Chains A and B, each alone.
Chain A
Amino acid sequence: MAWTGDDDSFQDFIDRHGVTFPNISDGPGEVFNRFGISYQPALVIVGTDGSIETVAGAVDDSLLEQIITEAT
């Protein structure tokens, strides 16, 4: 979910970091607003039941693994 930029800057970031998963172009921040996110980086976890959890800031490996475990 890319924000504050245009498609060229988003694509440049994606290319530099080898990101291979799909990325939403959200320059205006509409999807950010939809999830109540006004900062970055952040993660939003949507559970299979539609529940939402927000994690503000960067995450390390252990926290990411914990998030994955809880999401399943």
Chain B
Amino acid sequence: MPDVTRSTSLRRSARWPALVAALALTAAACSSGDDAGDGAGTPAADPAATAAPAATTAPSTGDTASDTADGDTATGDTAPGDTGGDTATGDTAAASTTPATEAPVAVPAALQFTAPLVGGGDFDGAELAAKPTVFWFWAPT
């Protein structure tokens, strides 16, 4: 049984250095007292500032689906993803890719939006739900 609370804590911890680095860059760019972009506060590039994807909960190692699939047959098999006639090994592989169940995270209204990213792709605010987040609003000058 995964420890959901611990998982959330680890996820926050994993993201926090990226947030701190991002904010450090923000402060450097903004701290000149001028509008951002005058060059006086040029931040140093920091690979750690790249937003790292949040860690996901590790797949359960005690998966009951794979346990029940051991020695199963095509008849009466209830393991998820089982198409019948497969082997116990096949069932284990399919079941072990299922992430542990995690309580759904409520997305605050402020984060219910998507927007294009500079350089391509889209930003989905919902991905930041339940994570401390800082948006820096700037304009090029």
Within 8 A of A (CB), among B125-141: 128, 130-141
With beta carbons under 8 angstroms apart, the residue of A31, A41, A59, A71 that contacts B35 is: A41
Interface size on A, residues (CB 8 A): 51
B24 located at the interface, meaning its Cβ lies under 8 Å from any Cβ of chain A in the complex: yes
B133:A45 contact, CB within 8 angstroms: yes
**CB < 8 Å A-B pair total:** 168
Residues of A within 8 A of B133 (CB): 45-46, 71
How close is A47's CB to chain B, nearest CB, in angstroms? 6
Within 8 A of B (CB), among A38-70: 40-50, 52, 57-61, 64, 67-68
With beta carbons under 8 angstroms apart, the residue of A4, A43, A58 that contacts B135 is: A43
Contact indicator per residue, chain B 28-70, by CB within 8 Å of chain A (1) or not (0): 0111111111010111111101110000000000000000000
Binding site for A on B (CB under 8 A): 12, 16, 18-27, 29-37, 39, 41-47, 49-51, 106, 108-111, 113, 115-119, 123, 128, 130-141
19 contacts between A and B (CB under 8 A): A1-B137, A10-B118, A17-B37, A18-B43, A24-B117, A25-B118, A26-B115, A31-B115, A40-B137, A41-B30, A43-B134, A44-B135, A48-B132, A50-B108, A59-B30, A60-B27, A64-B27, A67-B23, A68-B134
